[in-house]
Amino acid sequence: MANLVADIGNSFTKLAVFDGNNLVWMESYANINAEILSKVLSAYKPLKAIVSSVKKNPESWEQYLAGQVGTVRFNTAMAKSVKNHYKTPQTLGADRVAAITGAQALYPGKASLVIDAGTCVTYDMIDAGGNYFGGSISPGLNMRYKAVNHYTSALPLLTPDAGFDSVYGDDTESAIRSGVQNGIRFEILGFIETYFKTEKHLNIILTGGDSIFFDTVLKNSIFAPQIKIEPHLVLAGLNAVIQQHND
């Protein structure tokens, strides 16, 4: 049975089709319209659809989708497999809950630390019993580079360089790269080390737009064997939710 999953982010929307637990198609779009949806629905004939969004107001195409296939808009209460102990669950980002639900679906019965490296870097751990107590939100890689430029009068705007591996910088540009990239690397390693103190058998799951970059940065760390790249973790979590919905 095919399911359609839509994950609406700040800049792009990901559409995906799952056949059971298997991802059979995925594409990212800056803009979606009825014509795009019509082609996807015709090709894969999903029976259910789920939409997750960082935006409060529905997109115009959501109404069209709902008219074609049974559609639900994801909210955190729908993640029934997660025992959510967050003090303000109504403020918890849907993408963060979808990601830890995806970790559960891909690695059932395992404790997992999900590091979502996107606009922000989020750290969310779910234990082997499905308990979630909270996480952390930090500025993302590109946000840090932009902040260095925006809040100073003389420092240039740089972009990430996966080949940079120096401990320090010997000119202004390399000093910025050292501060930004080493800083975020030390931050990630610090979070991982802290979580390992309480969870000895912990999966480290990297997801998000910068996940491949950070996998490169962290490949020589002592935690490398535990690190897994799951670029479609949120989509997998949403698919797990829609499979459980109304079953």
d(CA 40, CA 19): 14
Looking up residue 13, the CATH number of its domain turns out to be 3.30.420.40
3-state helix, strand, coil in the chain (%, to 5): 40, 25, 35
Residue 111 shares a structural domain with residue 180: yes
Residue 87 shares a structural domain with residue 185: yes
Annotate 151-189 with b (16+ C-beta within 10 A) or e (fewer).
eeeebeebebeeebeeeeeeeeeeebbbebbbebeeebe
pLDDT at 58: 85
Q: Which amino acid is at 201?
A: H
Closest by CA to 132, choosing from 172, 170, 82, is 82
Task: Give the CA dihedral 26, 32, 34, 38, nearest 10 degrees.
Answer: -10
d(CA 234, CA 122): 13
The answer to the question of residue 243 being in a domain is no
Per the DSSP assignment, residues forming a β-bridge with 113 are: 125, 204
The answer to the question of residue 78 being in a domain is no
Where on the phi/psi map is residue 227: left (φ > 0), alpha (ψ -120 to 50), or beta?
beta
Residue 56 shares a structural domain with residue 105: no
pTM, entire model = 0.90
Residue 109 shares a structural domain with residue 230: yes
The three-state secondary structure class of 2 is strand
Q: Which amino acid is at 224?
A: A
The answer to the question of residue 122 being in a domain is yes
Which stretches within the chain are classed as H helix? 34-44, 60-68, 94-106, 141-150, 172-177, 183-196, 211-218, 233-244
Residue 139 shares a structural domain with residue 190: yes
pLDDT at 247: 54
**Cα dihedral sign, 43-241-97-89:** positive
Output DSSP code: residue 179.
I
Residue 48 shares a structural domain with residue 119: no
pLDDT digit string (tens) for the chain, length 247 residues: 799 999 998 778 999 999 999 999 999 999 999 999 999 999 999 999 999 988 878 888 999 999 999 999 999 889 999 999 999 998 998 899 999 999 999 999 999 999 999 889 999 999 999 999 999 999 999 999 999 999 999 999 999 998 898 999 999 999 999 999 999 999 999 999 999 999 989 999 999 888 888 887 787 788 888 889 999 999 999 999 998 876 5
Residue 208 shares a structural domain with residue 106: yes
Domain boundary among 22, 46, 73: 73
The answer to the question of residue 245 being in a domain is no
Residue 168 shares a structural domain with residue 229: yes
Residues 6 or more apart from 188 whose CB is under 8 A from it? 115, 121, 214, 218
List 95, 116, 124, 210, catalytic entry = 95
Residue 29 shares a structural domain with residue 151: no
Q: Which domain holds residue 172?
A: 83-235
Domain count, the chain: 2
Active-site annotation holds for 170: no
Residue 48 shares a structural domain with residue 148: no
Domain boundary among 43, 73, 103: 73
Residue 108 shares a structural domain with residue 178: yes
Residue 110 shares a structural domain with residue 202: yes
d(CA 115, CA 100): 10
Annotate 109-123 with b (16+ C-beta within 10 A) or e (fewer).
ebbbbbbbbbbebbb
pLDDT at 170: 96
